[in-house]
Amino acid sequence: MAPTTSFEQLAYDCRLLNTASERDGDTALLLRDLHADSDSKYDPQAWVLRPDVVLDISKELVKQEGNYYNKCRKLFC
CB neighbourhood size of 46 (10 A): 19
* pLDDT value for 2: 52
Number of domains in the chain: 1
d(CA 50, CA 18): 19
pLDDT digits (tens, 9 = 90+) for 1-54: 555 667 888 888 889 989 999 998 899 999 988 988 888 888 888 888 899 999
Instruction: Give the domain extent around 49.
Output: 7-76
Direct distance between the N- and C-terminal alpha carbons of the chain, in angstroms, rounded to an integer: 26
Domain assignment of residue 53, yes or no: yes
d(CA 44, CA 52): 14
Domain assignment of residue 26, yes or no: yes
CB 46 within 8 A of CB 4: no
Domain assignment of residue 2, yes or no: no
* pLDDT value for 43: 87
